Amino acid sequence: MGDTGSQVAPRKLPRLATPTRGGKEMTTRRLQTKTQGRLAMAVLVIACACGDSATEPPPDGPDLIVSIPDAPASVAYGSTFHMEVTVLNRGTRTAGRTQVFFLHSADQTITTADAVLGSEFTDTLAVDRELQMGVRVEPPRDALGTLYYGACVDPLPDEIDTENNCSVAAGVEIFLPPPFGAVVDRTHQSLTSRIVSGGGQTSYQVYRRRSEAGDFSRVRDVSASGEETSYTDTGLEPNTVYYYKAIACKDAICSDESDEWGGLTEVVGPVDIPAVPETRGEKVNISFGTDKARVHWDAVPRATYYRVYQDEDLDAEVSAPALSYYDDDPNTFLGAYQTTRYKVQACNKAGCSGDSETVVITIPPPG
């Protein structure tokens, strides 16, 4: 008999199951052979598709997002403003028509539950394309301080992500504008001013000084809820110039100071009618809009105010010591400035002078 121990038949080892990897079951089979008296181990890795892949295909569909609104940082009380947003499709397919809602929020988070100011329908929007749309906003009449505005786009049925359809909020400060004042009547011991503002205030702080170089002091708080208020300052000296300015307030919120205005009290006793003033004028060029006009005159002794006429119609009464009048409504045609004519009278409690020479403010010749 031969040496039966010189040859060993290959021995098949059991199949060992290993943890899955990448969604496929991995099996290892070890083969053991003896070749030339040496033991060799071979490991075979066999992959089989025994389940779904863990790597899902990328989502497919439109994805609409809305930019932060383009709106002014601040707006005067009683004014409107334009708000605009950009809608972008950053998905993988064209977005169908939908609707954008413009919203006013009570806080800095914009949601579809916020107050709707208006809406606009979109057109279809290709991938990576954008469109702009906007609305005219009228803030609430009783609101001051910072208000929050934004927009949401109505999600589409096949949209990839419906959690990004609302914009970030834009804060718009609603502020009280400074008032405007002018002296409209006078006696030898009082000056009456008309104070005008855009509304929203409940009172004015009125300040006065006696000389052009002096310091202002607060003389009165005047209750005022309308757009126009009259205030009479009494106990003044005759034939004396006083200057004023005012601040509009609502509770703890107040406007900036107004420009100052002035008035001249009358003299005590009889006075002559003032002489005719010397006048001149100029056109005020407005870069983006209709040009305006300004009329100047020299001071006339004993004149406490001046009447300015445009083309025979009384256009304004200007209290001394002011010596000019800015006309923001000159003659125009189709929005363009036209030649305008002015005359001025000097006045006091005795009456008014005759007309000044006509001031003609013309359109400059072309070229």
pLDDT by residue (tens digit) across 203-246? 999 999 998 788 999 999 999 878 899 999 999 999 999 999 99
Of the ranges 32-41, 149-158, 306-315, which one carries the lowest mean pLDDT score? 32-41
3-class DSSP assignment, residue 188? coil
Question: Measured between alpha carbons, how far is 73 from 251 in angstroms, rounded to an integer?
Answer: 22
Nearest to 129 by CA among 67, 86, 98, 185: 86
CA angle, 351 then 354 then 355, to 5°: 125
Calculated CA dihedral for residues 44, 50, 51, 56, nearest 10 degrees: 50
Mean pLDDT of 170-185: 96
**Which residues have a Cβ under 8 Å from the Cβ of 93 and sit 6 or more positions away?**
60, 61, 62, 127, 158
64-175, CATH topology level:
Immunoglobulin-like (2.60.40)
Please tell me the predicted confidence (pLDDT) of residue 7: 43
**Per-residue pLDDT at 26 exceeds 90:** no
3-class DSSP assignment, residue 1? coil
Question: Measured between alpha carbons, how far is 102 from 166 in angstroms, rounded to an integer?
Answer: 10
Please tell me the predicted confidence (pLDDT) of residue 200: 87
Please tell me the predicted confidence (pLDDT) of residue 333: 77
Strand-pair partners of 68: none
Please write the tens of the pLDDT for every residue from 40-49. Answer: 333 333 344 4
Q: What φ, ψ does residue 218 adopt, rounded to 5°?
A: -75, 120
Please tell me the predicted confidence (pLDDT) of residue 59: 85
**Peptide bond just before 330 cis, omega within 30 deg:** no
Span 279-361: which CATH code? 2.60.40.10
Please tell me the predicted confidence (pLDDT) of residue 43: 36
Please tell me the predicted confidence (pLDDT) of residue 1: 44
Q: Which of residues 320 and 33 earns the better pLDDT score?
A: 320
Q: Which of residues 38 and 57 earns the better pLDDT score?
A: 57
Mean predicted lDDT score pLDDT of the chain: 86
**Per-residue pLDDT at 68 exceeds 60:** yes
pLDDT > 70 in the chain, percent: 83
Residue 168's pLDDT band, with cuts at 50, 70 and 90, is very high
Give yes or no for a contact between 48 and 61, defined as CB atoms under 8 angstroms apart.
Answer: no
Give yes or no for a contact between 207 and 219, defined as CB atoms under 8 angstroms apart.
Answer: yes
Q: Which of residues 364 and 106 earns the better pLDDT score?
A: 106
Of the ranges 31-35, 218-222, 339-343, 356-360, which one carries the lowest mean pLDDT score? 31-35
Please write the tens of the pLDDT for every residue from 69-84. Answer: 999 999 999 899 999 9
Please write the tens of the pLDDT for every residue from 330-342. Answer: 888 777 888 899 9
* Single pTM value for the model: 0.71
For residue 280, what are the CA distances in angstroms to 21, 50, 357? 94, 98, 9
Mean pLDDT of 93-97: 96
Residue 20's pLDDT band, with cuts at 50, 70 and 90, is very low
Q: Do domains 180-264 and 279-361 have the same CATH topology?
A: yes
Domain ranges across the chain: 9-48, 64-175, 180-264, 279-361
Please list the alpha-helical segments (H only) found in the chain: none
Span 180-264: which CATH code? 2.60.40.10
For residue 273, what are the CA distances in angstroms to 48, 192, 221, 342, 352? 114, 21, 36, 21, 6
Question: Measured between alpha carbons, how far is 256 from 181 in angstroms, rounded to an integer?
Answer: 14
**Per-residue pLDDT at 11 exceeds 60:** no
Please tell me the predicted confidence (pLDDT) of residue 357: 96
Mean pLDDT of 164-185: 96
**Per-residue pLDDT at 18 exceeds 50:** no
Concatenated DSSP letters for 260-291?
Answer: PEEEEPPPSS--PPPPPPPEEEEEE--TTS--
Question: Measured between alpha carbons, how far is 212 from 205 in angstroms, rounded to an integer?
Answer: 20
